Amino acid sequence: MKALLVIFFCILFHQSFAQQTYSISIGKKTKSELLQKIKPNWLVQEGQMSLEKYYSYFNPYYFNSDTLVDFIYEGPGGGESDIVSIWINTGLGFENIISSAGCIEKIEKKFPYSPTEIHFIQYGCCADPHNFYQIWTYINYEIIEGIEYNFLDATEIPKDFNYKFSIRVKNTPYKLRATPEIINDNLHSDYDQGNVIAEYSQGDIGHVLDSKKDDTGRQWYFVLMENPLSEEGYHSYNSLRNRKWLGWMSGRYVEIINNSR
């Protein structure tokens, strides 16, 4: 089931990625000639994937200010998750500067000459429900990997989100949930109670990235929680309690402490 979830989410985010305007247009012949400089992966070498199919997973992109075409590979790597690889054109060939199991959610440049940001998601392997969201930044032929924002399977992640303001929790305990609703029945085998990911305490800080209202009119915030969890707060993953977690929190007992808009 976990493998099916990984494949589903990778397909979902691959479709989202394909709709972005990151890709440049080059002819099929030019693309094929350039990709001949990249050694095919073992799936091609062992006859499990055709060369034409392999090439179809490469997307041309300009990472540098030169006129050399670079490539982003997002496709099968032989495991249960897709592989994301970035290939930089050196003029003499291509250098693979990063390769990691996961999916790309989107690529963006906030300004014409600002660094390229790659929004990357890695799902847990082998039935592990722990996943993370990360922003990669391309600078001077290197990928700088950002902070890992952690989440569990079944967490609803908004399609587009950005920092809006911060909040402070006013009650103890206060629950971080996987979806913007109150569910107390079993949601998922990795949750002890409904859709509860963790419990936070009065004074804990969250950074609001998106919001929505449920059918009752309750305001929910999609938040990145800044504070570590208590030992009791995060059911099965105390070893990960110091991570920064993503989830949904009710707006009923929180106060806005910084509004950037």
Higher pLDDT, 6 or 55: 55
Quote the mean pLDDT of the chain. Answer: 83
Q: Which CATH architecture has domain 165-259?
A: Roll (2.30)
Q: What is the pLDDT of residues 163-194, one digit of tens each?
A: 999 999 999 989 999 999 998 877 666 677 78
12 has a pLDDT exceeding 60? no
Q: HSE of 13 in the Cβ direction (CA atoms, 13 Å)? A: 28
230 has a pLDDT exceeding 70? no
Percent of the chain with pLDDT over 90: 53
Question: Domain coordinates of the chain in residue numbers?
Answer: 2-146, 165-259
User: What was the pLDDT predicted at 127?
Assistant: 67
Q: What is the pLDDT of residues 17-75, one digit of tens each?
A: 333 445 678 999 999 999 999 999 999 999 999 999 999 999 999 998 788 999 999 99
User: What was the pLDDT predicted at 13?
Assistant: 40
Q: What is the pTM of this model?
A: 0.75
User: What was the pLDDT predicted at 232?
Assistant: 54
Looking at residues 3-11, what average pLDDT do you find?
A: 40
